[in-house]
Amino acid sequence: MTVIGLLTDFGIKDGNVGVMKGVIAGINPDAQIVDLSHHISPQNIAEAALILSRSYAYFPPGTIFVAVVDPGVGTQRRPIAAQIGEYFFVAPDNGVLTLVYQSAERQNKPIKVIQLINPAYWLPLISHVFHGRDIFAPVGAHLSSGANLDDMGTPVDNPVRINFPQPEPISGGLRGEIIHIDHFGNISTNILQIHIAGVEKLTVQMDNTTIPGLVRTFGEREPGELVALLGSTGYLILAQVNGSAAQVLHPKIGDPVMVFFDNPSLKE
Amino acid sequence: MTVIGLLTDFGIKDGNVGVMKGVIAGINPDAQIVDLSHHISPQNIAEAALILSRSYAYFPPGTIFVAVVDPGVGTQRRPIAAQIGEYFFVAPDNGVLTLVYQSAERQNKPIKVIQLINPAYWLPLISHVFHGRDIFAPVGAHLSSGANLDDMGTPVDNPVRINFPQPEPISGGLRGEIIHIDHFGNISTNILQIHIAGVEKLTVQMDNTTIPGLVRTFGEREPGELVALLGSTGYLILAQVNGSAAQVLHPKIGDPVMVFFDNPSLKE
Amino acid sequence: MTVIGLLTDFGIKDGNVGVMKGVIAGINPDAQIVDLSHHISPQNIAEAALILSRSYAYFPPGTIFVAVVDPGVGTQRRPIAAQIGEYFFVAPDNGVLTLVYQSAERQNKPIKVIQLINPAYWLPLISHVFHGRDIFAPVGAHLSSGANLDDMGTPVDNPVRINFPQPEPISGGLRGEIIHIDHFGNISTNILQIHIAGVEKLTVQMDNTTIPGLVRTFGEREPGELVALLGSTGYLILAQVNGSAAQVLHPKIGDPVMVFFDNPSLKE
């Protein structure tokens, strides 16, 4: 039973995700469909890329991800499917797979990307505005039934990638930025565990708020305190114990976050 | 593996949808349950009818839809199950199937409606307020296991239908109205592709806003522009490219939308 | 096919629930995963306990519930798994199973609780902040594959319980409190059917609002009226017909609700 993971910005109130699942069930009744998220901010390709890249490796090998955040639907943007390491991805070619490509490259895993041009794997009628239903879900379902990626289209050598800002060195530390705010109001930065490896003490600063040290987990401080810690996928996050850091700090995606390494002048 | 599609106004926070799935799994462990939506506006039978009618045909034949928007639960309103073309429906008899009946009639598909009176297909205890759990989910599960509709109750000749306003001709065009506002803030009217078939140019007007022409898809205009286009199920929709038309136009369900056909005086 | 029911406060936008499902599918592809709720208020153990206790018995025997509302993740709080009657539960030992224990005790069903200490049933890497993914989901998946509870850890004699206030007798009636507000704005009290059994007439009072009598279901009164009735799991609830009692009464969890039995002076 192959898993198909769905990631969209469709929300769940209008029936569109249900329709994609109906289409999949009609092609492969044995596919096991898992919702990764349907609450990506509308048209936010970067957010979808982030959620996908930090999640996919927890699924069983062979899982097919259908990722539809698709502001260019119906234009010349290409529909693609990709085999990346042990996983498959079906998506518009708009950069939503950028971080998965990078992850595979770091691990020397093979990447094969195909432009979907063979309508034999699509619904008979293709709308201009809902390729999730008409192209991406059917292609994912056919892949889950054992269809061959190579039969679905032609190779793509230069799939679209989008730019993800990296943390930059500053005097005494790093300047990162906010890349995600989660359901709990935890604030994720683009600073990874590897960026601060070996650092014994550090101070995190956002706007006028300074958070000392790093805790291992929320429960090490009292409810209401702001803490900095490494999240479950290795990113440095800011949180409020039993509360919402977002409600305290009012962050926006892209806002700067500074980390200072063991800097006495800051800790007076 | 038969698909059971669920459509309710229950939301997803209180466990009620989960309980319906638990009941189904207890009766038919092999049923494949798909959420169509649980975010129908509370008690909004017309909205549920719309979502159901535009979605069901994308599911595999034999799919059983359990549609529970049920303000009359526990009163004399009848619980029904229906076989309509290749699909089954289980619902309160309050008009939620109106558009499915109409769709079947246009296609000359058979309609059989049964009033559910046989408690052998229900849970042992029936509450006054949650027939989704106690009657509709179990009936759907038994249908998915191969139970016979005719054994569940007695024929209904006059199932309840609700009125859906149709677009009306006005001087130079059509007067429609708003029937749905989706997760993206796209505004759907009750004007269908067939109502404007053959029209080469048109102008859409809502309140004091005029939108020229029809585009095929969002990406044909610049971000922020308002556009009119045909949605993926054939309804004329108003949208803002990469934005929310609802935030710009503040529509309410039932608000009028005018379409003028190629009318030079309007386009000066 | 064993059912695994998931209950968390994770929300559904960040992919964390999807990742738990991916982990489960990797361990037991045949498990059938059902969402009970992922919208428990953040860190609200009591609310999770309530939803779980009133829902679990509607699932088929053998169902495994993975309940992760876990403000103490990564601290000394114990991870546990339990066999309670015909059901299994995997959770942090923070009281989220309190009402399930009580329910089993009332029914003289056996309770076995194990502290999870055997990492053979976990993911290889354990984060400090996401045991839902790293411990609880894998343990649930292994149980669904037939793993033995006793092999997973050591017995716990004194699992944590939290206090749930009970209704108290007052002159002429009972004083209860609000324990849940649902998606429709219905207000649930901690007053159960058994607390008012045999009472022929009663009056419900909250703040300055008095609601006469008990109705059996919503449709017995006109839209807009406030009514008191027994909800589908036996709790006394306050509702507005076709509306939201919460929007009218602005309740908070813990607010008092009084019930007066057949008290003429109140009914003048």
The model's pLDDT over C192-248, given as tens digits with 9 standing for 90+, comes to 999 998 887 899 999 999 999 899 999 999 999 999 999 999 999 999 999 999 999
pLDDT beyond 90 at C263: no
pLDDT of residue C221: 94
Sign of CA dihedral B234, B238, B242, B243: negative
Work out the pLDDT band at B198, boundaries 50, 70, 90.
confident
pLDDT beyond 80 at B56: yes
How far apart CA B6 and CA B33 sit, in angstroms, is 7
The contacts found for A219-225 with CB under 8 angstroms, 24 or more apart, are A219/C71, A219/C72, A219/C73, A219/C74, A219/C75, A219/C77, A220/C75
Nearest-10 Cα torsion for C134, C135, C136, C140 = 100
pLDDT of residue A265: 46
Mean pLDDT of C146-150: 98
Quick check: B159 contacting A, CB < 8 Å?
Answer: no
Quick check: B217 contacting A, CB < 8 Å?
Answer: yes
Work out the pLDDT band at B197, boundaries 50, 70, 90.
confident
Work out the pLDDT band at C268, boundaries 50, 70, 90.
very low
Mean pLDDT of B196-224: 92
Instruction: Decide if B9 contacts B69 (C-beta within 8 A).
Output: yes
Quick check: B76 contacting A, CB < 8 Å?
Answer: no
Residue A80, amino acid? I
Residues of C in contact with A13 (CB under 8 A): none
pLDDT of residue A263: 56
Work out the pLDDT band at B265, boundaries 50, 70, 90.
very low
Instruction: Decide if A133 contacts A16 (C-beta within 8 A).
Output: yes
H helix and E strand count, chain B:
6, 15
How far apart CA C133 and CA A231 sit, in angstroms, is 13
Neighbours of chain C (3+ CB pairs under 8 A): A, B
How far apart CA C130 and CA C73 sit, in angstroms, is 7
The CA-based angle B156-B159-B161, given to 5 degrees, is 175
Residues of A in contact with C18 (CB under 8 A): 5, 34-37, 55
Work out the pLDDT band at B193, boundaries 50, 70, 90.
very high
Cβ neighbors of A84 (< 8 A, separation 6 or more) are A97, A100, A101, A104, A109, A110, A111, A112
How far apart CA B64 and CA B83 sit, in angstroms, is 9
Of the candidates A1, A180, A232, which has its C-beta nearest C127's C-beta?
A232
Instruction: Decide if B68 contacts B49 (C-beta within 8 A).
Output: no
Mean pLDDT of B17-27: 98
Q: Average pLDDT of chain C?
A: 95
pLDDT of residue B263: 56
Nearest-by-CA chain C residue for B76: C219
Residue contact C74–A244, C-beta within 8 A: no
Of the candidates B13, B15, B71, which has its C-beta nearest C55's C-beta?
B15
pLDDT of residue B262: 77
Instruction: Decide if B152 contacts B139 (C-beta within 8 A).
Output: yes
Neighbours of chain B (3+ CB pairs under 8 A): A, C
Quick check: A109 contacting C, CB < 8 Å?
Answer: no
Quick check: A42 contacting C, CB < 8 Å?
Answer: no
| pLDDT above 90 as % of chain C | 94
Residue A35, amino acid? D
pLDDT beyond 90 at C262: no
Quick check: B39 contacting A, CB < 8 Å?
Answer: yes
pLDDT of residue C265: 46
Residues of C in contact with B42 (CB under 8 A): 183-184, 242, 244
Work out the pLDDT band at B264, boundaries 50, 70, 90.
very low
Distance in Å, alpha carbon of C134 to nearest chain B alpha carbon? 24
Dig out the tokens for C81 from the structure: 């798994």
The CA-based angle A164-A168-A172, given to 5 degrees, is 155
Mean pLDDT of B92-99: 98
Instruction: Decide if B230 contacts B241 (C-beta within 8 A).
Output: no
The continuous run of DSSP H or E covering C151 comes out as none
Residue contact C216–B12, C-beta within 8 A: no
Residues of B in contact with C60 (CB under 8 A): 22, 25-26, 29
Instruction: Decide if C93 contacts C115 (C-beta within 8 A).
Output: yes
pLDDT beyond 50 at A268: no
Rg (CA), chain B: 21
Quick check: B15 contacting C, CB < 8 Å?
Answer: yes
Work out the pLDDT band at A1, boundaries 50, 70, 90.
confident
Quick check: A19 contacting B, CB < 8 Å?
Answer: yes
Of the candidates B40, B59, B216, which has its C-beta nearest A74's C-beta?
B216
State the alpha helices, DSSP H only, in chain C. 16-27, 45-55, 98-106, 131, 137-144, 245-249
Quick check: C183 contacting A, CB < 8 Å?
Answer: no
Instruction: Decide if A211 contacts A238 (C-beta within 8 A).
Output: yes
